[in-house]
Amino acid sequence: MLDVRRISTSRWWHKKKNWTLFGIFLFLVFVRISKGSVYKDLYYFISRPFWPGQFQKEIILKSINQESLINLNLLQKDNARLREILSLQKSSNQNVSAAVISRKTGSWWRQIIINKGSKDGVEIGSTVIGPGGLLGRVNSTSLFTSSVTLLTSPESKVGVWVDRIQMNGLLVGLGDDYPSLILYSNNAEIKVGDFVSSSPASTLLPPNIPIGIVQSIDKPFRAKKSAKISLLAKPHLIDWVQILKVKI
């Protein structure tokens, strides 16, 4: 009996070390069959405490919040400045707000139709502005609607002012998105980025209404210079406008 017991206890499956090695072998086989997915998942949980975690996330969020706050402050200052330039706070009760109900901004048809007309006090020649600045002038009215000739229309010609060089010029629509600024001086030192507004000497528009920025400069022709103007107010994006009732 003693010999039988010794033989049975000597078999390999009775040894804990062998069971440990066998378990490791099975685990490696399983990892091999699963193509390492289990190992990757295990690594996911083991490495999680060492990820660039909450502290870095808070820093990023703080930076984003600071950037948003700075942008908000800049927008508020720009809004206050533009409203002051446009005199919206002082004269908004004298102006007429209108919705754009039709656009003809392609090709040579550069006009919009708004939902206010003669019954609302809109007159032919009234100045129309939108977010950004000047859009154009009213060219016709009905009882309930008005048509506005945009600055981009070939029919549009308005006096403008280039503040940096303190010079008057003429803004002429060409039928595209960039009207032409004409300066009747071959020596005018106009530059890309110069700001253009309505002229204090204009008999058609109130003065100092923002219009646009010099986009490019054409080659001088005889006794004049011309430049392309990028308008601040984009008629194809604007849904609401104001008709100024200020008498010039």
pLDDT digits (tens, 9 = 90+) for 5-27: 454 455 555 556 666 777 777 76
Domain count, the chain: 2
In a domain, 204, yes or no: yes
Closest to 135 in 3D by CA, of 145, 149, 146:
149
72, 227 contact by CB (below 8 A): no
Say if residue 194's pLDDT is above 60. Answer: yes
pTM of the entire predicted model: 0.61
How many Å apart are CA 75 and CA 71, to the nearest integer? 6
In terms of domains, do 46 and 166 share one? no
pLDDT at residue 30, as a whole number: 64
| Predicted confidence (pLDDT) per residue in 115-125, tens digit | 889 899 899 99
pLDDT for 105 equals 67
Q: Reduce the secondary structure of 163-226 to three states and give it as a string.
A: CCCCEEEEEECCCCCCCEEEECCCCCCCCCCCEEEECCCCCCCCCCCEEEEEEEECCCECCEEE
C-alpha separations of 47 from 29, 40, 43 in Å:
23, 10, 6
Q: Is residue 239 exposed (0-12), middle (13-18) or buried (19+ Cβ within 10 Å)?
A: exposed
pLDDT of residue 247 exceeding 80: no
Across the chain, mean pLDDT equals 76
Assign residue 146 the CATH number of its domain: 2.40.10.340
Residue span of the structural domain in which 19 resides:
2-50
pLDDT higher than threshold 50 for residue 1: no
| 109 and 175 belong to one structural domain | yes
Q: Is it the case that residue 88 has pLDDT exceeding 50?
A: no
Q: How confident is the model at residue 89 (pLDDT cuts 50, 70, 90)?
A: very low
CB atoms under 10 Å from CB of 103, counted, come to 15
Among residues 177, 171, 220, 222, the alpha carbon closest in space to that of 194 is found at 171
| pLDDT value, residue 235 | 84
Higher pLDDT, 54 or 221: 221
Per-residue confidence band for 2, with pLDDT thresholds at 50, 70 and 90: very low
Q: Is residue 70 part of a domain?
A: no
